[in-house]
Amino acid sequence: MNFALILLIGLALLILLLLVWVLRDPRKRARPDSGLDSSEDLGQRHVDYFPQVRQALAAEDLVFLSSRGTSQLVRRTRKERRKIALDYLSCLRDDFLRLWRLARVIASMSPKVGAGEELARLRLGLTFSLHYELIRIKFLLGFAPLPELGSLSDAVSRLSIRLETAMNNLGERAALAARLASSLDDGHGLDTP
């Protein structure tokens, strides 16, 4: 076999393994609140806690703490805050996956969704997973990528808003169809002799 062909096959396998690794669930535990509680809770879990996470990761807090406390306290605080950020990131991923599955359900009920929209949904999922893993790796290495974390949180918020709009549109269409069907059943909507 040609060296270039072996290299190409090895690269393809590496990309496939990376894709499987990115799409896997890092925490294989079931969460009791993973169901959809209400449309108001659709994407609000992560939004409620982002300001606290941003404050916990702020460099000013650690500078102040290092001026007042011991280095051991600073290390322990940094480690605990990193764990909080990783937990928040995991919850953000759970919110996204929940919304992503809901998008699939809404797409199956919508007559307008075609292959292009499904491909866009798949691309959104892969992009989110890749950004999630990159941010997670940065946190594990000890960095605090706040702008990236904020943009990931914004992406989940935008998806939540889009799904809420789509659900409202489907509800309005269903109500219109029900009114039309009831008017046809009553005989008021037909011009029959």
Residue among 157, 159, 148 at smallest CA distance from 54: 148
The parts of the chain modelled with pLDDT lower than 70 are 1, 22-46, 111, 113-114, 184-193
Residue 173: predicted pLDDT: 74
In a domain, 28, yes or no: no
Residue 134's pLDDT is what?
Answer: 92
CA distance 91 to 93: 5
Establish if 180 belongs to a structural domain: no
Quickly tell me which residue has 């062909």 as its tokens. 5
For residue 130, the model assigns a pLDDT of: 92
Domain count along the chain: 1
pLDDT over 90, % of the chain: 7
Is 54 a member of any domain? yes
In-domain check, residue 36 = no
Distance between CA atoms of residues 121 and 110, nearest Å: 14
Domain span at residue 157 reads 41-165
58 in a domain, yes or no?
Answer: yes
Distance CA 126, CA 106 (A): 19
Asked if residue 108 belongs to a domain, the reply is yes
pLDDT at 93: 92
Residue 93 and residue 154 in contact, taking contact as beta carbons nearer than 8 Å: no
Residue 163, number of CB atoms within 10 A of its CB: 19
In a domain? residue 66: yes
- Helices (H) and strands (E) counted in the chain, each on its own, are 6, 0
At residue 183, the pLDDT reads 72
Hey, what amino acid is at 53?
V
In a domain, 124, yes or no: yes
